[in-house]
Amino acid sequence: MENIIFIGHGSPRKEANNLETIGNLLHKIIHPGCSNQCVKVAYMQFAVPGIAETIKACADSGAKKIIVHPFFLSSGMHVTRDIPEMIDKARIAHPDVEFIYTEPLGVHEYLAQIVLCRLREAAFATPEDIEKRSFEIIGDEEDLSGITPEQASVVKRVIHATADFEFRKTLVFHPEAIKNGVAAIRAGKDILTDVEMVKTGINKRLLEQWGGKVICKIQNSKFKIQNSKNKTKAEMGIESALKENNNIGIIAIGNAPTALLKIIDLLNNPHYASRITHHGPLVVGVPVGFVKALESKALLSTQRFPFITNLSRKGGSPVAAAIVNALLKMAEKK
């Protein structure tokens, strides 16, 4: 069995002793899927575990080869004298173990690339600068040709929220979706969400300038517990809100496929549809999960009323909020 030991200097500042993060990343790269702790960390001083005790732990666990890497930039006294002396003592204590001592980080072209990356990051100090650069990166790395500029704006914001480029291929738009969504916002229509996380993620400042508000009824006191085995709290909250509020212009579902199925059912009922609003609301349906999530979105993609959805198991509250925020940005620019 082979073990690798990362050795760092250690610091009196506890949060600076985070070498375990590098160790875990390396372990996943060289031993993908391995559940053993093959890569360990140790510190020269100020932090635990120490080098000697880490070497002993490796030997006691059956390691026949121990590779020691000094996680230092240069070959100072620790690298050239202190650590080698500890390894020499370990060879005497554990004669049946092979020890390999590597060079420190030293001068390497990849280090220059890391420095360059840090320099570029420093140029984007404000949230606005970071967002702008993020969208530029998305545009550089993903081909957004073949869709309208408005759809591309939605796709970019979803990828920005998830770092998942798969949404470029799975997002589906009704031809009138973006037009109706922007019009609803500018007309002061309200936005209904299935869960509080979607509500929290929506930019209230951009919405309120048009007079609209975000509504979520899942926390309504009447729905603290489910009153029926056939209905979820999100589903009951959605149904209640649609009955009480006829100013809803956008319905955003990020969590509950049952709520999305209820919306589809209600919007296909002429009685309910006429009470909800004078024009068809935009339904943003992107629930995440394995049970009914994809099925509900596939059904939504066949509807005649405006919708935005994605045909995969992926989705969630951040995706729903990102889509709505993209519409809010478009409404502001128009």
pLDDT tens, the chain, 334 aa long: 899 999 999 999 988 999 999 999 999 998 888 888 899 999 999 999 999 999 999 999 999 999 999 999 999 999 999 999 999 999 999 999 999 999 999 888 888 888 888 877 776 666 677 777 788 888 888 888 889 999 999 999 999 999 999 999 999 999 999 999 999 999 999 999 999 999 999 999 999 999 999 999 876 645 455 454 567 778 888 888 887 888 899 999 999 999 999 999 988 887 766 665 555 799 999 999 999 999 999 999 999 999 999 999 999 999 999 999 999 999 988 5
Which domains can be identified in the chain, with CATH numbers? 2-101 (3.40.50.1400), 142-333 (3.40.50.10230)
Catalytic residue among 9, 27, 31, 160: 160
* Active-site annotation holds for 278: no
What is the pTM (predicted TM-score) of this model?
Answer: 0.66
Strands (E), the chain: 2-8, 39-43, 65-70, 98-101, 171-173, 190-193, 214-216, 248-253, 282-285, 307-310
pLDDT tens digit string along 295-309?
A: 999 999 999 999 999
Helices (H), 163-302: 167-170, 177-186, 196-201, 204-208, 233-244, 257-267, 270-276, 293-300
How far is it, in rounded angstroms, from Cα 15 to Cα 263? 48
Phi, psi for residue 322 in degrees, rounded to 5? -65, -40
Q: Which helix (H) or strand (E) holds 119?
A: helix 109-122
